[in-house]
Structure 1
């Protein structure tokens, strides 16, 4: 470890984006936050969930960790499919990280779903919109399994156990932002072979905008972390911090939430999260729009951003995961 630290120290720093990462002039990126990568498990000892890593695309590089709950061996079970997008501000964390692996083992076990946790490309090596394109490609790849044809790169867990009439999206933080944008795109573009999204859950969604909303402080609003993160990960975003991708409520340029391409939505927010008001407002605007689906809002008191992933062992975390599982079981 000492030699690695000396090697990093010897590198010439190009830019820091604290507390997330440092970039060096040789092109390497040192990520300062996030949990270690862990391998998949043939059968998790606590939940019985099996997981494995697969490649979706080589160019661009898109991979995923698949999860399968313990099955009733007496018959071929068909289960709902959850396409999951991890959080991390589009620049840290991974589908292979310890905290998301632990969270998904629990959710897959309780929700009885086949899950595809997408490993999309991160900034600054790959600025947005690359992550959005990766996540759409992954969703289309999942949908391509609906027909039992001879297309290459078919995944047996999806072919044998996936119920393509019950496809869900889910994500936390930046991943919940991706969920919104994928569901909006699915509302105007077709998925393979007419596959439709049934539902989507957004936990602590990452939305922001140039104008303060409700309890957000007006002073220094443009220097708040959500604004700094967006400007870092998507420096050329059309509209900047008022791009419809990060601000679905912007007065000009944002498509109506009525086109959201699923019939059920669950939004969850945490009391101490600075993104809370945006999540609540998203739920309210969705209800007020001409979207014809069913929306639910869950507010958790006394907790902060992504607590259900970061503080997995707490009672509030377990309760929220159980709530997400019940949404998938309906």
Structure 2
């Protein structure tokens, strides 16, 4: 193998390195862990399932310890973060976070394993997650027969949450859910967008003006969706760009948006998005939470800190109400 085969063609530290031979080194991944019949810390059970064979879309399902055999629970679809290009529903960080959230929220959860860029460029991830949401909703009519969903799921309480890029995906599939009917007429009820990844060609609020186009959210978007019409002003990443579908059509009833005080790249975007939703005339209920003294995705990366535990408890309460 010649030395040029491992030539780096793009690197975005500390996230990802792409080589000329097509290989990808994901620098920020946490190791994969297996599912578990019963997590010793939380009592949550998990298992891995296939949603679609072609394309291959899978998920990790989570079920809290039941108090009675036929107990009914809200359903939570979770979409992990990682700039559309790293992390996994099967990684240790995401798995342990979901165990904590599922245990406290008392939901049956579907953590979606969507295909990652740059091997699968956007909009693939959006399509995968929409397929996953359709698959979950189809259980209301027993079209599919995943027993945890059929036996325990309350389809009138179908919630969806995502972190960072996952929160971006949540917004976009909720926009789709506002105009397309899910199987069985199921509707999404509550949404949580944690540290959402949005961007645009112009800085907003208190974002630095200098070298805006060199910031990681800008560079990563060009990596994961190089053919995006209008670049970082594509409505998938800039939901407020002129001429796009009105935010009033967002397909859920309640939304919680959260930001972190020390999230230098995306704090302003979360507030910007929340304000735009409030001003749009959307009829749902909205709340914004800012956690002081913490950084991006702290609830996953620093899960055992008091602030992370308090935050997960807050999310669980929102999903329970």
TM range (shorter): over 0.9
Whole-angstrom distance in 2 between the partners of 1:46 and 1:315: 17
- The reply to whether residue 98 of structure 1 matches residue 92 of structure 2 is yes
- The reply to whether residue 259 of structure 1 matches residue 249 of structure 2 is yes
- The reply to whether residue 44 of structure 1 matches residue 39 of structure 2 is yes
Alignment length (residue pairs) = 319
Whole-angstrom distance in 1 between the partners of 2:304 and 2:271: 26
Contact 1:38 1:96 in 2 (8 A): yes
TM-score (norm 2): 0.96
Contact 1:80 1:164 in 2 (8 A): yes
Cα distance change, pair 281–154 in 1 and its aligned pair in 2 (3 A): same
What is the CA distance between 1:288 and its match in structure 2? 1.6
Tell me which stretches of 4 or more aligned residues in structure 1 moved more than 6 Å.
7-10
Contact 1:270 1:305 in 2 (8 A): yes
Q: 1:4 matched to which residue of 2?
A: none
What is the CA distance between 1:21 and its match in structure 2? 2.4
Gaps of 5+ in 2: none
Whole-angstrom distance in 2 between the partners of 1:310 and 1:164: 31
Higher mean C-alpha displacement, 220-229 vs 277-286: 277-286
User: 1:188 is paired with a residue of what secondary structure?
Assistant: coil
Contact 1:13 1:22 in 2 (8 A): no
Deviation by residue 1:269-318 (Cα, 9 ceiling, x = unmatched): 00111211111121122112221110011001111110110011111111
Whole-angstrom distance in 1 between the partners of 2:293 and 2:245: 34
- Taking the TM superposition and a 5 Å limit, the aligned residue runs for 1:267-278 are 267-273=257-263, 274-278=265-269
Q: 1:174 matched to which residue of 2?
A: 165
What is the CA distance between 1:80 and its match in structure 2? 0.4
What is the CA distance between 1:214 and its match in structure 2? 1.2
Select which of 65, 71, 75 maps to 1:77: 71
Cα distance change, pair 85–9 in 1 and its aligned pair in 2 (3 A): farther
Gaps of 5+ in 1: 1-6
- The reply to whether residue 55 of structure 1 matches residue 50 of structure 2 is yes
Aligned Cα RMSD in Å? 1.5
